[in-house]
């Protein structure tokens, strides 16, 4: 019976796809696309495995009715019939998901309306258990009015409902928000309001949230651009009314606002000096469908770094990273991708937050990363592993949870003020002065618990001396304090000097020295001094090297724990010929601990290194060959870094292509992990309207506490065929 239902669903999806294609062919419209994927997937470890036959049918139709009006219809059918083997016991399963959606766009130069309705229903069977059903229903509408020289208005409404019978999930949320802003001669004023209702029917939780904010911003330059001022402030109030059911309590997620985001690819995430992040506003634009250009799929890699600035010190315990495929639709599986969480005090040296756990939530098409409650301003999420499906990061969100006892009602008021001032000036051609100040006042009150408040302020003074084009000296002084109502006051004082000598554009030497003094309950009283040197050398237009190295001494709690670290980073690139490119990368660090508390670290020197070279051969646009080989070493234990790529288009015009990718990498920052991947991706452009792709993926993930301790091995295999039609 289950097999019949599975076949019926498959035939239904295929029939819908065919009907759409025939309708488009008959109408002669050039706005219909279709795709069908048939494949086999295996996933498992020594104790558990699952395999199955996968089917995916997608059809999209869009029409430009008039210049401002456009609509889009989309249908997805996803099916799987497979077998699970647990300790020798086999169980059959079947799964089918149907997902129609509709979008409407009405866009004028100063006025736009966007609406979207998305519905998804899932039916699944596992063994002799009752049928499991899941339903996700979402709708949102956005109106934007921005006439020239008048206030702009943005209205947004959103609703969703999620249910899943097997997991007793039944929740709904609705919200409406409005934003108004007006700008005049460098001054911008505005306001923001939000009302949200959240119901968790499985626990009886009901909550409402009402927000009101006022903001102001001022930007101005003076003296023909020699001086500038930038100031902004936001003041807001928030009322939370939460009520739990009589059966059990609830852990309530509270979303925190992320001020800014940056992205970098960094294989050494503990030190971000060698990979400066670039701003990534797409991670915070509220659009979970638009790609931010960060791939976690077959064309991606490990060590994708997402740096998030909260603009104030907050206690967080959860992040969500939303992903979509190339067309902006949800991704059905998350692959073998895990995330680590890092925090920092100075934005350069990072430390790992232990016990982070990653899972993929298919209904949200998002990775959820949970970790112990951690207070910081700066957080960084670092990926390890990839997925076999096209997977692109679209949005990042931050949360903290509060506990609500059974049959309890709580009203919470939140008041906050955030202000920032920056000013810079050039009193002489050889001198630039700047000041940056940040102030945050955050307070929560409710009748059944003590008041919590936190006042944070950060003051940074900087002077840049440029006596000539060859010499540059920058000195900085920063003082930061965090004064929470609970816990000890934290202070952070740093003094930095950076000297740069440019002999010519091809030879640049930089020396940096800084002293940092931190106090607080965690990590205690710590003094760190660092001396670093950097050398940029370009010997020829096709040959360059970047070398960084230095020492760092740290003394914690007046000698109870002292450490001395030596570190080195190097990169290089040599264009051997027009077709051959050689790239080099080297990282080394050694830390020695002393003092009564050295036993906490095992009393041993911590040594880590990472070296590899990469050779690329590209004689023409038809062939691209790359190979990587290296080693990573942790306390004397060596592991290989290997990888290679081959892209070959043997026929004219690239109608037939063959791609092969192999990589092997290791990570030891959290626990020991080794990841291997093999991908074979031939493609054939049949005609201007049809493309055939074959894809075979083999992923292997090994995890253990240490390189020599027993661990777990997980393997994922996929083979599928994709036919994409554009009519």
Model confidence over 493-534: pLDDT tens digits? 999 999 999 999 999 999 999 999 988 876 678 899 999 999
Query: What integer pLDDT is reported at residue 599 of this predicted model?
Result: 65
Q: Is residue 311 part of a domain?
A: yes
Query: What integer pLDDT is reported at residue 348 of this predicted model?
Result: 78
User: How far is C-alpha 332 from the chain's CA centre?
Assistant: 18
Q: How far apart are CA 136 and CA 97, in angstroms?
A: 11
Query: What integer pLDDT is reported at residue 166 of this predicted model?
Result: 64
Q: What's the whole-number mean pLDDT along residues 162-174?
A: 79
pTM of the predicted protein model: 0.77
**Beta-carbon contacts of residue 234 (< 8 Å; ≥ 6 apart):** 213, 214, 215, 416, 417, 418, 419
The tens digit of pLDDT for each residue in 647-668 reads 887 775 668 888 888 888 777 7
Query: What integer pLDDT is reported at residue 726 of this predicted model?
Result: 67
The tens digit of pLDDT for each residue in 55-99 reads 888 888 888 888 899 999 988 888 878 777 766 677 777 778 888
* Domain end position, chosen among 352, 382, 401: 401
* Domain end position, chosen among 579, 613, 628: 579
Same domain? For 560 and 610 the reply is no
Q: What is the mean pLDDT of the chain?
A: 84
* Domain end position, chosen among 345, 373, 401: 401
Same domain? For 365 and 499 the reply is no
Q: What's the whole-number mean pLDDT along residues 598-622?
A: 79
Report the number of distinct structural domains present in the chain. Answer: 3
Q: How far apart are CA 319 and CA 274, in angstroms?
A: 25
Same domain? For 642 and 571 the reply is no
- Taking every pair of Cα atoms in the chain, the longest distance, rounded to a whole number of angstroms, is 84
Q: Out of 195-204, 422-431, 596-605, give the one with best mean pLDDT.
A: 422-431
Q: How far apart are CA 117 and CA 104, in angstroms?
A: 9
Q: How far apart are CA 705 and CA 671, in angstroms?
A: 5
Q: Is residue 80 part of a domain?
A: no
Same domain? For 612 and 719 the reply is yes
Q: Is residue 114 part of a domain?
A: no
**Beta-carbon contacts of residue 107 (< 8 Å; ≥ 6 apart):** 68, 70, 113
Q: What's the whole-number mean pLDDT along residues 637-652?
A: 79
Query: What integer pLDDT is reported at residue 601 of this predicted model?
Result: 53
* HSE, side-chain direction, 13 A CA sphere, residue 411: 3
Whether 14 shows a pLDDT value over 50: the answer reads no
Same domain? For 551 and 486 the reply is yes
Whether 352 shows a pLDDT value over 80: the answer reads yes
Query: What integer pLDDT is reported at residue 709 of this predicted model?
Result: 75
Q: Out of 377-386, 403-412, 479-488, 672-681, give the one with best mean pLDDT.
A: 377-386
Q: Is residue 711 part of a domain?
A: yes
What residues form DSSP beta bridges with 531? 513, 551
Contact in structure between 330 and 391 (CB atoms under 8 Å): no
> 247: pLDDT confidence band, cut at 50, 70 and 90?
low
Q: How far apart are CA 497 and CA 533, in angstroms?
A: 12
Cα dihedral sign, 593-595-599-603: positive
Query: What integer pLDDT is reported at residue 677 of this predicted model?
Result: 85
Left if phi > 0, otherwise alpha if psi is -120 to 50, otherwise beta: which for 26?
Answer: alpha
Same domain? For 477 and 390 the reply is no
Whether 327 shows a pLDDT value over 80: the answer reads no
> 710: pLDDT confidence band, cut at 50, 70 and 90?
confident
Q: How far apart are CA 419 and CA 234, in angstroms?
A: 6
Task: Sort strands 205-222 and 169-184 into parallel, antiparallel or unpaired.
Answer: unpaired
Same domain? For 686 and 617 the reply is yes
Q: Is residue 394 part of a domain?
A: yes
Same domain? For 682 and 720 the reply is yes
Same domain? For 553 and 621 the reply is no
Query: What integer pLDDT is reported at residue 295 of this predicted model?
Result: 93
Which phi and psi (to 5°) does residue 236 adopt? -150, 160
Q: How far apart are CA 607 and CA 568, in angstroms?
A: 12
Residue 421 tokens, joined: 């001032």
Left if phi > 0, otherwise alpha if psi is -120 to 50, otherwise beta: which for 590?
Answer: beta
Q: Map residue 15 onto helix, strand or coil.
A: helix
Same domain? For 482 and 376 the reply is no
Q: What is the CATH number of the domain that holds 306?
A: 2.60.120.260
Contact in structure between 40 and 720 (CB atoms under 8 Å): yes
Q: Is residue 163 part of a domain?
A: no
> For residue 449, what are the CA distances in angstroms to 375, 412, 452, 671?
20, 10, 9, 38
Residue 173 tokens, joined: 């949320």
Higher pLDDT, 47 or 660: 660
Query: What integer pLDDT is reported at residue 449 of this predicted model?
Result: 61
> 727: pLDDT confidence band, cut at 50, 70 and 90?
low
Q: What's the whole-number mean pLDDT along residues 443-464?
A: 84
Q: Determine the structural domain holding residue 492 and report its residue range.
A: 472-579
Q: How far apart are CA 394 and CA 333, in angstroms?
A: 16
Same domain? For 385 and 267 the reply is yes
Higher pLDDT, 36 or 26: 36
> 383: pLDDT confidence band, cut at 50, 70 and 90?
very high
Query: What integer pLDDT is reported at residue 22 of this predicted model?
Result: 45
What residues form DSSP beta bridges with 214? 191, 235
Higher pLDDT, 235 or 55: 235
The tens digit of pLDDT for each residue in 252-302 reads 778 888 988 999 998 888 888 778 889 999 999 888 888 999 999 877 888
Query: What integer pLDDT is reported at residue 134 of this predicted model?
Result: 75
User: How far is C-alpha 214 from the chain's CA centre?
Assistant: 29
| % of the chain surpassing 70 pLDDT | 90
Q: How far apart are CA 237 and CA 592, in angstroms?
A: 49
Whether 19 shows a pLDDT value over 60: the answer reads no
DSSP letter, residue 22: H
Same domain? For 688 and 575 the reply is no
Q: How far apart are CA 335 and CA 302, in angstroms?
A: 13
Whether 416 shows a pLDDT value over 50: the answer reads yes
Q: What's the whole-number mean pLDDT along residues 579-588?
A: 92
Name the residue with tokens 């998350």.
Answer: 334
Query: What integer pLDDT is reported at residue 9 of this predicted model?
Result: 42
Query: What integer pLDDT is reported at residue 235 of this predicted model?
Result: 95
User: How far is C-alpha 455 from the chain's CA centre?
Assistant: 28
């Amino acid at each position: 019976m289950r097999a019949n239902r599975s076949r019926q669903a498959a035939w239904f999806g295929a029939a819908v796809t065919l009907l759409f294609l025939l309708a488009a062919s008959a109408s002669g419209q050039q706005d219909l696309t279709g795709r069908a994927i048939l494949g086999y997937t295996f996933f498992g470890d020594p104790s558990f495995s699952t395999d199955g036959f996968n089917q995916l049918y997608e059809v999209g139709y869009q029409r430009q009715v008039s210049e401002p009006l456009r609509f889009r219809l989309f249908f997805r059918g996803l099916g799987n019939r497979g077998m699970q083997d647990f300790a020798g016991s086999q169980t059959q399963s079947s799964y089918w998901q149907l997902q129609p959606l509709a979008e409407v766009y009405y866009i004028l130069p100063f006025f736009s309306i966007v609406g979207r309705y998305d519905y998804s229903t899932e039916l699944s069977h596992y063994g002799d258990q009752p049928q499991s059903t899941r339903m996700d229903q979402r709708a949102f509408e956005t109106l934007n009015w921005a006439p020239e020289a008048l206030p702009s208005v943005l209205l947004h409404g959103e609703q969703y409902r999620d249910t899943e019978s097997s997991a007793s999930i039944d929740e709904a949320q609705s919200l409406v928000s409005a934003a108004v802003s007006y700008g005049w001669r460098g001054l911008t004023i505005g306001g923001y309001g939000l009302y949200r209702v959240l119901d968790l029917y499985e626990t009886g939780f009901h909550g409402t949230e009402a927000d009101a904010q006022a903001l102001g911003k001022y930007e101005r330059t003076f003296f023909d651009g020699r001086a500038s001022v930038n100031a902004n402030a936001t003041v807001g109030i928030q009322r939370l009314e939460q009520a739990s059911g009589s059966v059990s309590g609830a852990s309530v997620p509270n979303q925190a606002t992320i001020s800014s985001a940056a992205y970098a690819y960094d294989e050494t995430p503990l030190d971000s000096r060698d990979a400066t992040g670039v701003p990534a506003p797409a991670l915070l634009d509220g659009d979970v469908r638009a790609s931010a250009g960060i791939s976690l799929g077959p064309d991606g890699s490990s060590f994708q770094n997402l740096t998030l600035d909260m603009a104030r010190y907050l206690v967080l315990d959860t992040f969500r990273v939303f992903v979509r495929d190339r067309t902006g639709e949800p991704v059905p599986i998350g692959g073998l991708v895990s995330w680590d969480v890092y925090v920092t005090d100075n934005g350069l040296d990072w430390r790992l937050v232990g016990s982070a756990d990653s899972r993929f939530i298919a209904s949200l098409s998002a990775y959820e990363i949970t970790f112990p409650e951690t207070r910081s301003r700066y957080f960084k999420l670092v990926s390890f592993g990839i997925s076999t499906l096209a997977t692109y990061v679209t949005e990042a969100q931050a949360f903290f949870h509060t506990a609500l006892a059974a049959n309890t009602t709580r009203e919470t008021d939140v008041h906050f003020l955030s202000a920032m001032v920056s000013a810079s000036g050039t009193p002489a051609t050889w001198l630039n002065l700047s000041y940056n100040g940040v102030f945050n006042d955050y307070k929560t009150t409710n009748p059944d618990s003590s008041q919590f408040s936190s006042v944070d302020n950060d003051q940074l003074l900087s002077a840049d001396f440029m006596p000539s084009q060859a010499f540059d000296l920058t000195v900085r002084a920063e003082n930061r304090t965090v004064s929470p109502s609970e816990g000890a006051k934290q202070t952070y004082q740093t003094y930095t000097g950076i000297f740069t000598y440019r002999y010519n554009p091809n030879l640049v030497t930089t020396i940096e020295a800084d002293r940092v003094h931190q106090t607080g309950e965690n990590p205690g009283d710590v003094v760190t001094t660092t001396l670093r040197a950097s050398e940029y050398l370009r010997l020829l237009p096709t040959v360059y090297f970047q070398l960084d190295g230095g020492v760092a001494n740290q003394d914690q709690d007046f000698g109870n724990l002292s450490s001395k670290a030596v570190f080195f980073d190097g990169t290089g690139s040599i264009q051997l010929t027009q077709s051959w490119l050689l790239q080099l990368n080297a990282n080394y660090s050694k830390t020695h601990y002393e003092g009564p508390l050295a036993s906490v670290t095992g009393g041993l020197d911590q040594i880590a290194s990472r070296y590899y070279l990469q050779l690329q051969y590209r004689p023409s646009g038809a062939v691209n060959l790359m190979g990587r080989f290296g080693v990573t070493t942790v306390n004397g234990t060596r592991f290989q870094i290997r990888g290679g790529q081959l892209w070959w288009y043997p026929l004219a015009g690239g109608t037939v292509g063959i791609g092969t990718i192999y990589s092997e990498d290791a990570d030891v920052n959290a626990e020991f992990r080794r990841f291997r991947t093999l991908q074979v991706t031939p493609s054939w452009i049949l005609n201007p309207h049809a493309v055939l792709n074959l894809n075979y993926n083999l992923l292997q993930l090994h995890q253990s506490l240490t390189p020599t301790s027993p661990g777990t091995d997980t393997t994922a295999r996929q083979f599928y065929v994709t036919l994409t039609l554009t009519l």
